[in-house]
Amino acid sequence: MSFPSKLNQAFDRLLPPLDPSRLAVAVSGGADSLALTYLAAAWAKQHHISFCAVTVDHGLRPESQKEAQTVHDWLLQAGIDHTILTWTGTKPQTRIEEKAREARYALLTNWCCQEKVPVLLLAHHADDQAETFFLRLARQSGLDGLCAMPEVLYRRDIAFVRPMLTCHHQECATYLKEKQLPWIEDPMNLSPLYERVRLRAIQPVLAKAGLTAEAVCGSVQRLQRVRACLEQLTRTFIETQVTRAPAGYAFVPHSSFASLPDELKIRVLAALMAWVKGRSPRLAQLEELLSDWPVKTTLGGCRIVPSKKGFYISKEVSKMEVVTLEAQQETEWENYVVTVSRRVQLGPLKNALKVDGIPAAIRASFPAFFDEKGLLWVPHLEYKRKKADIKGQIRLKEQNDGK
């Protein structure tokens, strides 16, 4: 099958279920992202979908601004709308690849949210997938890490889609050559300072041993299938066995948790900590926690408190911020979305109010509003100071379960 046919087949499979009102692609100017851009633009035009391209100028090389402008000119000449985003501020001196990737995704996500673009295409291909697998294998990653890159990943409800995971870099370059279309070679792709470049240099040796990109990607697909099964089992356990309270804590019965295999125990803990705090600890930390289970401890901004019938997971009070809220201004705080009618302070309840039936360590993490006179309002305990002049809403942020 030709490269365009293969890519169009991927578009037809991945994009219609997402029903994109607008479609965008992240384009660096390299052969991979430019080939994706031209073919995606044609597919979008055929399906009457608004299409645009966006480039992130990291500013890590003196010529990066000129290169971004060159890409802009090429795409405008092809009739494709194009935007340049610039990474400003002080650049890192260490972990450059990691920090640049974080900045790139943050810029792209914010831009998609602002421009109401629900789907963004990324140009990662099979060779990238194999490299990611080997890099994570070297770091002793668990199943999730070895699953490498998924075809669809959500960030703040934006679908990041990788339609080229069955394609190769050489196919992209050959396509552009046949169409007599230019591209930019990034010198950083040749620098041995970067992990991926060093790994790329030994790929021919790995391929001779049978570790081709196709072989690795085949294993990755099987691992992803196993992960999907485990994720479904984890969701089912949490939905049927775990109490998740609006106040932001979870309770897990000992009996049902004890019956789980260790892998599912780790996944349940990771999922609940992410629900409580907005992020989960590293796999090694969770493995160490489970090896000494049950234990009263703190980890990743969460507190674990065993009881007779089970254990609680709540926010760690000492890691919770105290913030000042302005009237009628929606604010995100500690995995909540908050709006109030007057200027107040928001922070953990700590020991300001005692209530039977809820352990003190858990109750202390409840969101509480304060003013100059002291405790004003604790929504999840239905406490409001007499004649308190405050109204508002506080709710947990929506989770992207199942995406």
Instruction: Check residue 402 and give its pLDDT.
Output: 37
| The pair of three-digit structure tokens given for residue 346, joined into one six-digit string | 């928001």
Instruction: Check residue 358 and give its pLDDT.
Output: 83
Q: Tens of pLDDT along 242-301?
A: 999 999 999 999 999 999 999 999 999 999 999 999 889 999 999 999 998 988 999 999
Residues 6 or more apart whose CB falls under 8 angstroms from that of 70 comprise 29, 184
Instruction: Check residue 193 and give its pLDDT.
Output: 66
What is 3-220's CATH topology? Rossmann fold (3.40.50)
Could you tell me the pLDDT band of residue 400, with boundaries at 50, 70 and 90? very low
Lowest mean pLDDT among 128-132, 265-269, 276-280, 337-341: 276-280
Q: What is the Cα–Cα distance from 66 to 337, expressed in whole angstroms? A: 41
Could you tell me the pLDDT band of residue 147, with boundaries at 50, 70 and 90? very high
Lowest mean pLDDT among 34-38, 233-237, 374-378: 374-378
Tell me the mean pLDDT in the region 83-96: 89
Instruction: Check residue 204 and give its pLDDT.
Output: 87
Residue 35 CA: distances (Å) to CA of 23, 27, 175: 16, 9, 7
Q: Tens of pLDDT along 213-230?
A: 999 999 999 999 999 999
Q: What is the Cα–Cα distance from 234 to 266, expressed in whole angstroms? A: 10
- At residue 131's C-alpha, the angle toward residues 100 and 44, to 5°, is 70
Instruction: Check residue 94 and give its pLDDT.
Output: 86
Per the CB < 8 A criterion, the answer to whether 33 and 54 are in contact is no
Q: What is the Cα–Cα distance from 5 to 377, expressed in whole angstroms? A: 61
Instruction: Check residue 242 and give its pLDDT.
Output: 97
Per the CB < 8 A criterion, the answer to whether 161 and 122 are in contact is yes
Indicate the domain borders of the chain: 3-220, 244-317, 320-396
Q: In the predicted model, is pLDDT for residue 372 greater than 80?
A: yes
Answer yes or no: same fold for 3-220 and 244-317: no
Tell me the mean pLDDT in the region 376-383: 91
Q: For domain 244-317, give its CATH number from 3.30.465, 3.30.70, 1.10.1740, 3.40.50.
A: 3.30.465
Q: In the predicted model, is pLDDT for residue 136 greater than 60?
A: yes
Instruction: Check residue 352 and give its pLDDT.
Output: 67
Three-state SS across the chain?
CCHHHHHHHHHHHHCHHHCCCEEEEECCCCHHHHHHHHHHHHHHHHCCCEEEEEEEECCCCCCHHHHHHHHHHHHHHCCCEEEEEECCCCCCCCCHHHHHHHHHHHHHHHHHHHHCCCEEECCCCHHHHHHHHHHHHHCCCCHHHHCCCCCEEEECCEEEECCCCCCCHHHHHHHHHHCCCCCCCCHHHHCCCCHHHHHHHCHHHHHHCCCCHHHHHHHHHHHHHHHHHHHHHHHHHHHHHCEECCCCCEEEEHHHHHCCCHHHHHHHHHHHHHHHHCCCCCHHHHHHHHHCCCCCEEECCEEEEECCCEEEEEECHHHCCCEEECCCCCEEECCEEEEECCCEEEEECCCCCCCCCCCHHHHCCCEEEEECCEEEEEHHHCEECCCCCCCEEEEECCCCCCC
Query: What dihedral angle (degrees, nearest 10) is formed by the CA atoms of 212, 216, 217, 222?
Result: 150
Q: In the predicted model, is pLDDT for residue 403 greater than 50?
A: no
Instruction: Check residue 279 and give its pLDDT.
Output: 87
Tell me the mean pLDDT in the region 179-207: 82
Could you tell me the pLDDT band of residue 188, with boundaries at 50, 70 and 90? low
Instruction: Check residue 401 and give its pLDDT.
Output: 39
